[in-house]
Every structure is written in C-alpha cells, then in structure tokens.
Amino acid sequence: MFHPHGWCYLWEPPLVALHVGSDALTALAYFAIGLALALIVRRRRDLPFGLLFALSGAFIFLCGLTHLASILVVWQPLYWIEGLVKAATALVSVATAVVAIPSLPLIMRIPNPLVDPLTGIATRGALFESVQKKPASMGPAAVLYIDLDHFKDVNDKFGHACGDLVLREAARRLKAVVRPRDIVARLGGDEFALVLTGASLADGERIAAQARTALAAPVSVNDGRTVWIGASIGVAELNGDFDAALRAADRAMYAAKHDGRVSAPA
C-alpha cells in the first residue's frame, strides 16, 4: 500500500504549504503561458512555425499538469496518475524538440524589423521608436536627412549588387562621423537619417559637412572599379516633435540638392 507524499514531509504544515504553494503558482503560470500560445496559434494562422507554437503550448500546459499532480499526491497516493501525466509531458517534450531543432536555422534567418538587413543600421521604424522612447533624456538634438546623389546612375550602370555595396559603405561612413550615442538609420532606398543627441543646429551643420566629405570619397567595388557618389543633407532642430523635425530636415535636404550646397538648415 502506497502512502501519500505528505508522509515524506512529516505533515509539517509550513513544509506542506511551501511545496503546495510553489507547485500551485508554477502550475498557474504554465497554464497561462500554454493558453497564450494556443490563442496565438488560433488567431494568427499566418505566422510561421505554427506547429512549433502549438507543441510548445501543449508541452508547457502539460508541465502545469505535472505540478497539479504533485499537489494531488501530497494527500492521495495516486502515483500512477502522476506518472502518466509525466509520461505524456515527456512525449510532447520530445516531439517539441524534434520540431524545434530543425527549425533553428530558419528562425535565425528571420529578419529583425528594427535592423536594416542590407546595411545593419536601424530601420525607419527603429529610428522613430528610439526617439519616442527617450525624448526627455535626449535633450536638444539635431536631425540630419541624407539623400545620396547619383545613386540611381550607379545602379543603372553597374547593377544592383554594386548599389548594395555602396549603401553598405555609406552606412559605415555615416556611423564613423557620429558618436556611439547618436542614431544612424536607413529610411529606405538611398535615404538615411542621423539623430545627434545633445547637439545644436550648428553642431548638426558641422556633422553634415563631415558626412558630405566622407560620402564624396570614392567607393571601390568588387571588380576593381571605382564609383563616386555624393550626398545632399538637410539639418533641422529637434524640439519635441520628431516627425516635424524629420520633415523639416527633408525639406532642407531638397533645398541643398537644388542649390548644390553641402547642406542646408531648416
């Protein structure tokens, strides 16, 4: 005849409460996570790796059942039921691992929406998110809007592979002229933005001149050829409304492009 697990605790109330309370809280957390994953699978059938989500949810839910079974056997010696629950959990955990391990290379290749996959710098969305998260701590700031000159000619003459190399090199050079705390982002196509924290409009114009010089240097492509580009840059002050500041810098950039200047303030 089996005895309930409580005998192992000598029925000490604090010890029983510790184990039962811990198992109960863990079970509730596991149930919540498992149900959340099941809801994701049900509502978002467009998401990849649906089977992995479903198996993970089932595995986590069954882990919660094992903790409930551990509570049950404190008072009732239903060890066969506890064992069957653990066996089911083991089977589902093995199935989850079988599906998860081959999926790892595919998961690792999922692009980060906050990082531009070509240049490795921030995306437009990441730029807005970064600025909106810390507007107060940023203090005064300057926004630079950068458009590469003659980039379409490079694509048309040398091909998109060469154009991609130029974009990566442009991003590298822009990162080199700013401080680590500043933000460098690709807005799309051949347009970039810089946010210089703690910088005045004059500071922005100085960095714009440095960026224009850096981007005007020749770029060596893989077949030994050299291409030249330039950049038109607009500068604006950031005074709380980042979207307005970026639009102002965009207008200043077009003014600089039209006038053929190094940069133009908003």
The catalytic residue positions are 190
Residue 39 phi/psi, 5-degree rounding, is -65, -40
Burial of 47 (0-12, 13-18, 19+ CB in 10 A): exposed
Radius of gyration (C-alpha) of the chain in whole angstroms: 29
Do β-strands 230-238 and 263-265 pair in parallel, antiparallel, or remain unpaired? parallel
Contact 37, 57 (CB under 8 A): yes
